[in-house]
């Protein structure tokens, strides 16, 4: 059964029997408990502030504010990390908002996604399939690759990338797969790797994804992982950074100024 069909069926069941919601909520707790059995010392990643990554933080980004999008802070983070880098690779294009924003900083950008045919074959809405790349394909310099990251020939790319964004299927198995593929084929000594959906929101960790990240990479690299505050992203990067311990309820340290302008 496809993910979408499962979701529809689950929602119908919950409407008839609201107490079933507890099962869903408990499942997150089950995931956390499983995680802590394997990684008791790593309940959360150390956090880095966007201001410590870029003391003059002032980014503008393009965003659709539609379903399945990254947060504005996630997109701004990618742009900050892209500065001074020459190549970008991402798994998971969707409308192409992330690669579109990074392409304002890096000329050499590649994005990989399931093909339209494969999405439709999974039983997912044809319209959803057709909307892939609707933003990023307006930039002809962005290389759009089609393939399933489970079987895609990453080695065949024969290339290492400066900045990599993993934002495809967010199940444990696929985050682990994508992480293994990236660390096995695409990184060089100073590559930066960013995972989307390390957290459900900036204050709530998504343990299924977190475990996929840790299990998919060499354990001696775990010390180079961070959660960027106010974002949903985990980042692998080498260097010394000012960090603080994650807390699930925070007093805000600053406000973001958001100016909205519609571009046609």
Whether 20 contacts 14, CB under 8 Å: yes
* Per CB under 6 A, 110 contacts ligand SAM: no
Beta carbon nearer to ligand SAM, 95 or 227: 95
Site string for ligand SAM, 119-158 (x = CB under 6 A): x------------x---------------xxx--------
- Please select the residue that binds ligand SAM; options are 97, 144, 202, 227, rule is CB under 6 A: 97
Strands (DSSP E) contained in 71-196 are: 87-91, 108-113, 143-146, 161-166, 187-195
CA proximity to 138, closest of 176, 101, 193, 86: 101
Classify the phi-psi angles of 123: left when phi > 0, otherwise alpha if psi is within -120 to 50, otherwise beta.
left
Q: Least distance in Å: CB of 240 to ligand SAM?
A: 29
Residues near ligand SAM (CB under 6 A), total: 23
In terms of CB distance, is 31 or 132 closer to ligand SAM? 132
Sheet holding 161-166, edge to edge: 47-48, 225-228, 234-236, 187-195, 161-166, 87-91, 108-113, 143-146
Site string for ligand SAM, 69-88 (x = CB under 6 A): xx------------------
Residue 138 CB neighbours (<10 A): 10
State which of residues 168, 202, 212, 216 lies at the interface with ligand SAM (CB under 6 A): 168
C-alpha distances in Å from residue 100, one per residue of 72, 127, 187, 263:
13, 21, 22, 14
Q: Which stretch binds ligand SAM (CB under 6 A): 46-54, 94-102, 212-220, 228-236?
A: 94-102
Nearer to ligand SAM, 229 or 231 (CB): 231
- 94 near ligand SAM, rule: CB under 6 A: yes
Question: Do 243 and 57 meet the contact criterion of CB atoms below 8 Å apart?
Answer: no
Binding site for ligand SAM (CB under 6 A): 68-70, 90-95, 97-98, 112-114, 119, 132, 148-150, 167-169, 174
């Amino acid at each position: 059964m496809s993910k979408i069909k499962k979701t529809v069926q689950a929602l119908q069941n919950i409407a008839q029997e609201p107490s079933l919601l507890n099962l869903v909520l408990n499942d997150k707790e089950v995931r956390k408990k499983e995680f802590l059995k394997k990684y008791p010392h790593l309940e959360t990643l150390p956090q880095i502030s966007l201001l410590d990554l870029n003391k003059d933080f002032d980014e503008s980004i393009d965003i659709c504010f539609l379903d399945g999008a990254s947060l504005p802070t996630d997109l701004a983070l990618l742009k900050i990390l892209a500065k001074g880098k020459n190549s970008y690779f991402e798994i998971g294009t969707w409308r192409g908002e992330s690669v579109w924003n990074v392409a304002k900083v890096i000329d050499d950008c590649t994005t990989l996604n399931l093909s339209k045919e494969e999405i439709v074959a999974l039983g997912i809405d044809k319209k959803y399939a057709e909307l892939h790349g609707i933003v990023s394909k307006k930039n002809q310099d962005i290389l759009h690759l089609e393939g399933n990251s489970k079987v895609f020939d990453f080695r065949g790319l024969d290339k290492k990338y400066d900045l990599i964004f993993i934002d495809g299927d967010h199940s444990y198995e696929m985050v682990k797969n994508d992480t293994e593929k990236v660390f096995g084929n695409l990184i060089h000594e100073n590559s930066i790797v960013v995972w989307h959906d390390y957290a459900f929101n900036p204050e709530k960790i998504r343990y299924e994804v977190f475990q996929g990240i840790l299990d998919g990479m060499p354990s001696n690299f775990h010390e180079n992982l961070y959660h960027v505050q106010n974002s949903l992203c985990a980042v692998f990067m080498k260097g010394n950074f000012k960090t603080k311990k994650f807390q699930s309820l925070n007093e805000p340290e600053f406000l973001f100024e958001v100016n909205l302008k519609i571009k046609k």
